[in-house]
Amino acid sequence: DNLVADKMALTDEPEVSGNIFPYKKALLKANEYQYIKYLTEQLQNSRLPYRKAKNIHYCLPDSKYSTVMVRPLIKIFPKTIIKRDIAQTYLNGSIIALGLASYKAQFNEYPENLQTLHGKLKWKIPEDPFSGKYFVYKKQGNGYLLYSIAEDLQDNNGYKLPKGAKAEATPHDYVWEMQ
């Protein structure tokens, strides 16, 4: 197959003394092959939650000829998985907070735990995308603390990221709090 032959031709060092345009087509085909292969792998990885995709080693074959279009993607895909899970966390946390408000409206208090919310209102409790478990919920006086463990995958006891702090540098949780 021509694609394999073109790719194999790149393993030999081309002579630089003449015009390199004869190699242009082979370089582009090899680059297209690497690009499609890489995108296919990343699309498969993008279906994984961050907690599972976090330890995947993103790398390219060691070739200076076949990574022109692919190299910038190495940094993009892991970040998109995190952003997707953060967005899902906000959505799931808001769904739970809405259920808690509904529970409070019906029973004049917040439930002792999320299982009670599900049991009494049949409210579907979505999982924390980062832990794969229930969000952490603590009834506190007349209010509650609800949080996701966030992308560091550690329970930081509901520590809310201060405004302006960088999420990558500060251990935190995604927090919903009602007083």
User: pLDDT tens across 143-173, in order?
Assistant: 999 999 999 999 999 999 888 888 777 899 9
pLDDT of residue 14: 45
Token code pair at residue 156:
């930081």
pLDDT digits 0-9 by tens, 100-145:
999 999 999 999 999 999 999 999 999 999 999 999 999 999 999 9
pLDDT confidence tier of residue 25, bands split at 50, 70 and 90: low
Contacts 24+ apart (CB under 8 A), 47-50: 48/81, 49/85, 49/129, 49/130, 49/132, 50/81, 50/82, 50/84, 50/85, 50/129, 50/130, 50/151
pLDDT digits 0-9 by tens, 28-65:
676 677 777 777 877 788 888 988 888 776 665 555 54
CA distance 71 to 90: 31
* Partners of 173 in beta bridges: 160
CA distance 111 to 119: 10
Token code pair at residue 72:
């910038």
Number of neighbouring beta carbons within 10 Å of residue 149? 24
Rounded to 5°, angle at Cα 144 from 141 and 148: 150
User: Is the predicted pLDDT of residue 4 greater than 60, yes or no?
Assistant: no
pLDDT of residue 6: 46
pLDDT confidence tier of residue 22, bands split at 50, 70 and 90: low
Average confidence (pLDDT) over 22-26: 60
Q: H or E stretch including 71?
A: none
pLDDT of residue 58: 63
CA 27, 77, 50, 171 torsion: positive or negative?
Answer: positive
Position with higher pLDDT, 3 vs 87: 87
At a CB cut-off of 8 Å and minimum separation 6, what does 22 contact?
A: none
Token code pair at residue 77:
């895909």
pLDDT of residue 113: 97
* Partners of 145 in beta bridges: 138, 177
pLDDT of residue 11: 46
CA distance 92 to 126: 6
